[in-house]
Structure 1
């Protein structure tokens, strides 16, 4: 991740990242340090798999902390008041009709750092998220996906 790339986050997304960061710094660091200390007590570090695993885990924890701190530092927060109810933008909750299956689907458009498709949170950079940006209620959107083209009709925009 580029050092100065803006990371678009909702207020909820920022809180989630800050919470994970706090957990990593206060709990996980101590747990891993404890595992390293215990592994050192086993002696010979050249053939000590517990030590190697703990050091690898420590590197992963520190890398995640670094990434999260960068995200927070470069965060561009989308405030609820800034979210338009007229056109779809990052932070919008959108109800669309999947015209092929005649099925209503609700998506929240979020920055890529918050995306969780299984939770209905799609990235503004994803094909569907990108296609929906700037659209208004009543518009039909065609999205090119690996399986072909999906048509969505925008039914509702909320926060």
Structure 2
């Protein structure tokens, strides 16, 4: 069997919603192509051309989402895990250089959503995510981003 994909329940739900939307887009494109083929006047229709071009990429995205969801293993960070940062943890970090607090949620790479509302999502595969995994309240760590060296302190784990 292919590798498991760990993700939060929220990420799994969002991927299911995305899959449903992609399936609807595919159905709409197929219907548009079928309708245009029935009407000889629409052979030059730009919507038909767009639908024909988009269909393979929509199909590929559907297969990708189905694969990820089939391999998904739901995990959720909980305070009972010894107060350590795990996948799904909501963490308040203190950015020591800028003297400010940042709220982040540690998620798997497949569920990062740039448009998500709430806490900033940090992939477990990113430099910050890798350095953050397993940390406890009060621990500090440094991360190199480009030519800058950032220093964070874990303020809370939830």
> Could you say whether these structures have the same fold, taking a TM-score greater than 0.5 normalized by the shorter chain as the test?
yes
In the TM superposition, 1:2-81 aligns within 5 A as 4-25=2-23, 27-43=24-40, 49-79=46-76
Q: Which moved more, 1:43-52 or 1:124-133?
A: 43-52
| 1:76-155 matched pairs, under 5 angstroms | 76-79=73-76, 84=81, 86-116=83-113, 119=116, 120-155=120-155
| Secondary structure at 1:137 match in 2 | coil
| Contact preservation (8 Å) 1:87, 1:134 | yes
| Displacement after TM superposition at 1:52 (Å) | 3.2
Q: How many residues align?
A: 155
Q: 1:50 to 1:22 in 2, by over 3 A?
A: closer
Residue 113 of structure 1: SS of its match in structure 2?
A: helix
Q: Which moved more, 1:50-59 or 1:4-13?
A: 50-59
Conservation of the 8 A alpha-carbon contact between 1:9 and 1:76: yes
Q: TM-score, normalised by structure 2?
A: 0.85
- What is the alpha-carbon root mean square deviation over aligned residues? 2.4
CA distance in 2, matches of 1:127, 1:155: 19
**Which runs of 5 or more structure 2 residues have no equivalent in the other structure?**
none
Counterparts in 2 of 1:85 and 1:52: CA distance versus 1, 3 Å = farther
Shift of 1:145: 0.6
Pair 122,74 (structure 1): closer, same or farther in 2 beyond 3 Å? same
Query: Bigger shift: 99-108 or 35-44?
Result: 35-44
Indicate if the aligned counterparts of 1:8 and 1:112 stay in contact, CA closer than 8 A: no
Output the CA distance in 2 between the equivalents of 1:14 and 1:29: 21
Residue deviations 1:54-108 (CA, integer Å, cap 9, x gap): 1221112111110110011111211455873511111111101000010000100
